[in-house]
Amino acid sequence: METAAGSPDVEKRIAVASLLFAGGMLALIAYAALRLGISVPGCVTNVKPFAAGELIQVAPGRYEAHVVSKMWTFKPDLLKVPKGSVVDFYLTSSDVVHGFYIDGTDVNLTAIPNAVNYAQARFDKPGKYQVICHEFCGSGHHDMVGFIEVTP
Ligand code: CUA
pLDDT at site 53: 83
pTM of the shown model = 0.72
pLDDT tens-digit map of 100-132: 999 999 999 999 988 899 999 999 999 999 999
- Tell me what the mean pLDDT of segment 46-55 comes to: 81
Which residue ranges have their beta carbon within 6 Å of ligand 1? 72, 98-99, 133, 135-137, 141, 144
Residue 3, pLDDT > 70, answer no
For residue 27, report the distance from its CA to the centre of ligand 1, in Å.
42
Residue 69 CA, closest ligand 1 atom number? 1
First to last CA, the chain: 95
Mean pLDDT of the chain: 90
Report percent pLDDT > 90 for the chain.
77
Residue 137 CA, closest ligand 1 atom number? 2
For residue 143, report the distance from its CA to the centre of ligand 1, in Å.
8
For residue 14, report the distance from its CA to the centre of ligand 1, in Å.
52
For residue 38, report the distance from its CA to the centre of ligand 1, in Å.
35
For residue 131, report the distance from its CA to the centre of ligand 1, in Å.
11
73 vs 93: CA distance, rounded Å = 10
pLDDT at site 52: 77
- Tell me what the mean pLDDT of segment 10-19 comes to: 95
On whether the CB atoms of residues 74 and 101 are closer than 8 A, the answer is no
Tell the residue nearest (CA) to atom 1 of ligand 1: 98
